[in-house]
Amino acid sequence: MAERSLTFAQAINEAMHLAMEKDPDVLCYGLGVDDPKRIFGTTEGLQEAFGEARVFDMPTSENGMLGIGIGAALDDMKPVMVHQRLDFFLLAMDQLVNAAAKWFYMFGGQRSVPITIRLMLGRGWGQGPTHSQNLQAWFAHIPGLKVVMPATAADAKGLLLASIFDPNPVVFLEHRWLHHQEGNVPPGWQDDVLGKAKVLRAGTDVTLVAISYQVVEALRAAEVLQAAGISAEVIDLRTVQPIDWATIEASIAKTGRVLVLDTGALTCSVSSEIVARSAEKQFAQLKTAPARIAMPDVPEPTSYGLTKEFHPDAREIVKQVCQMCGLKDFAHLLQRLPFTEHHDVPGEWFKGPF
């Protein structure tokens, strides 16, 4: 089959069209779904194709939006709710945690809440401390929720379709830098499975478990490490709840080293959970202490100057892996990772295809 390249945003848009064509009970709503930019283009053409009754804008009333979605889901609809910033959704956490996530359990499996909540997160120009938070660990901590974080265009399509048709609530987290990333996306319906990671690059010396945008940095780092004779296996986690422990553990058993790359703050992060589990279950197989790279435990600055050193990238990964492998002279490797003109926008290397 010939390859077909789409952006991450186009892949999400295609998944929405396919889901709404397949099932008249699928709804799409949220602030800005019908505005000129159509939420990075992800809701482009939906209202024209499926009408205002199924695709509609909402006022900035986060708690009300989720309540409507939960009610619709209990009435056998499949709502897809969208927030352009994850931070806006925090006003609705009570209904998510105490209602949607628990319904199936509390009522003995008689009814479930099949809602998909699309939230954008991550860095970007001037996003600042209240518009860029990566709170996947919050959601992953709640029993009853599935949490999805695709990194490639193909996975954005396949995992969104799987999320929409999952019988219980799914939080679907999109890093805003990924919307312009390109990749091969098969046409037509795409079956995918929640809770299954992918090995994007095979290796024998170190396991890099990457989440969301950090998958891009992990692949960059792996290329540079290869030049030093270090073979890095890159795992795209894809979902942070449930975690695909089997894939991670098989890789660690092979390499004996694991470095986890998270987009969230370091303390109590998803990376913390993976490091803890690897130490608990595979201590005897580890050649060196497991490690993690995540965001600092401070609010993200807004200013251009202050954000310059805030986000860890492929350089930090290369440094950490070299230290884990006992390679002391690695300065020449870092020179293979040139700085972009501006640190707060993706470089040309970023677009893919992946």
pLDDT tens digits for 320-336?
Answer: 999 999 998 889 999 88
Host H or E run for residue 264:
strand 258-265
Indicate whether 354 pLDDT > 60.
no
pLDDT band at 316 (very low <50, low <70, confident <90, very high): very high
Strand 291-295 vs strand 232-236: parallel, antiparallel, or unpaired? unpaired
Share of the chain above pLDDT 90, in %: 84
pLDDT tens digits for 333-353?
Answer: 998 887 777 777 777 666 665
Q: What is the pLDDT of residue 1?
A: 56
pLDDT tens digits for 48-58?
Answer: 999 999 999 99
The 3-class SS string of 31-61 reads: CCCCCCCCCCCCCCCHHHHHCCCCEECCCCC
Token pair listed for 152: 């490639």
Indicate whether 2 pLDDT > 70.
no
Q: What is the pLDDT of residue 350?
A: 67
Indicate whether 115 pLDDT > 90.
yes
Query: Across the chain, what does the average pLDDT equal?
Result: 94
Indicate whether 95 pLDDT > 80.
yes
Alpha-helical segments (H) within the chain: 8-22, 46-50, 62-74, 93-95, 103-106, 136-140, 153-164, 214-227, 245-255, 270-282, 304-307, 314-324, 331-334
Q: What is the pLDDT of residue 12?
A: 98
Q: What is the pLDDT of residue 352?
A: 61
CB atoms within 10 A of CB 286: 16
pLDDT tens digits for 165-193?
Answer: 999 999 999 999 999 999 999 999 999 99
> DSSP class of residue 96?
I
Token pair listed for 214: 């950090």
Quick one: 193 exposed, middle or buried, by C-beta within 10 A (0-12, 13-18, 19+)?
exposed
Mind telling me the catalytic residues?
A: 62, 131
Q: Alpha carbon of 20 to those of 141, 164, 242, 245, 264: distances in Å?
A: 30, 10, 26, 33, 32
Q: Give every CB contact of residue 266 below 8 A, 6+ residues apart in sequence.
A: 272, 292, 294, 295, 296, 297
> DSSP class of residue 108?
T
Residues 178 and 6: beta-carbon distance below 8 Å:
no
Q: Which residue has the higher pLDDT, 170 or 307?
A: 170
Share of the chain above pLDDT 70, in %: 97
Residues 181 and 195: beta-carbon distance below 8 Å:
no
Span 125-145, average pLDDT: 92
Indicate whether 149 pLDDT > 70.
yes
pLDDT tens digits for 284-299?
Answer: 999 999 999 999 999 9
What whole-number distance in Å separates Cα of residue 246 and Cα of residue 252? 10
Residues 157 and 14: beta-carbon distance below 8 Å:
yes
User: What does the radius of gyration of the chain's CA atoms come to, in whole angstroms?
Assistant: 20
Span 129-144, average pLDDT: 95
- Identify which of 159, 161, 162, 164 has the alpha carbon closest to the alpha carbon of residue 149: 159
Q: What is the pLDDT of residue 155?
A: 98
